Structure 1
């Protein structure tokens, strides 16, 4: 990003340490501030400590405790219309089951870090319009 300007904040919820670390590094090197949570519960605590809404939520679907769909509902209850990227090794229909479709995007695992960054940037740009 120009002049090292921050692009916004991504709330990243991923229970796999390696995936979370790599995704965080990729997003940060693209200029994003990342709130990286190992669980849905941790994500909600981080969100409460934040002064404003994140730009984009990226969450794994299948996690112990609070799963991705519960995270999306809880975050959207606070920040309606927040763009969401759900990542999963399962099919899109299984991952998005029971969730409202708007501003919900699916990224199948395994994904490349470039795909993740591009998807986040695309959603943030659309939301800014």
Structure 2
């Protein structure tokens, strides 16, 4: 299965996402904000199959994280999530680097489907 790095500042959402993806056999590493996620990403030299990040977070938001991650690890697929319409609009211009934006609240099947779509091999 995949190695997934999650950046989510809400502890309940982070725990839910970790459990939902781990149950499917994914190896999940979690960070509480974008700054911590970037530290983990650099420490692991970008060896993740997916970066799943909230957009609105303290320290470094998900868009800044996505831009930095893409610059340093251009092959890393990125999936963003947000509960704010204005944040979704900010991500709209990042179509070249962000595979999708998952709207919160999401169901577990929606989360799993979005992750599966990003991880699916290109046809």
Show the 5 A alignment for 1:13-52: 13-52=7-46
Runs of 4+ in 1 over 6 A off after TM superposition: none
Please say if 1:55 is aligned against 2:49: yes
The structure-2 alpha-carbon separation of the partners of 1:93 and 1:29, relative to structure 1 and needing over 3 Å to count, comes to: closer
* Matched residue, 1:115: 110
The structure-2 alpha-carbon separation of the partners of 1:23 and 1:93, relative to structure 1 and needing over 3 Å to count, comes to: closer
The alpha carbon displacement at 1:67 in A equals 0.4
Gaps of 5+ in 1: 1-6
Q: TM-score, normalised by structure 2?
A: 0.88
2:6/2:52 contact within 8 Å kept: yes
The alpha carbon displacement at 1:51 in A equals 4.8
Secondary structure of 1:35 counterpart: strand
Instruction: Between 72-81 and 100-109, report the one with greater CA deviation.
Output: 100-109
1:57/1:82 contact within 8 Å kept: yes
Distance 2:113 2:35 in 1: 27
1:81/1:103 contact within 8 Å kept: no
* Matched residue, 2:79: 85
Q: Deviations over 1:83-122 (max 9, x none)?
A: 2111111227524144243442011000012211221112
Distance 2:80 2:115 in 1: 11
* Matched residue, 1:124: 119
| Number of residues of Structure 1 aligned to a counterpart in Structure 2 | 122
Q: Deviations over 1:35-65 (max 9, x none)?
A: 1110111101111221552111111011112
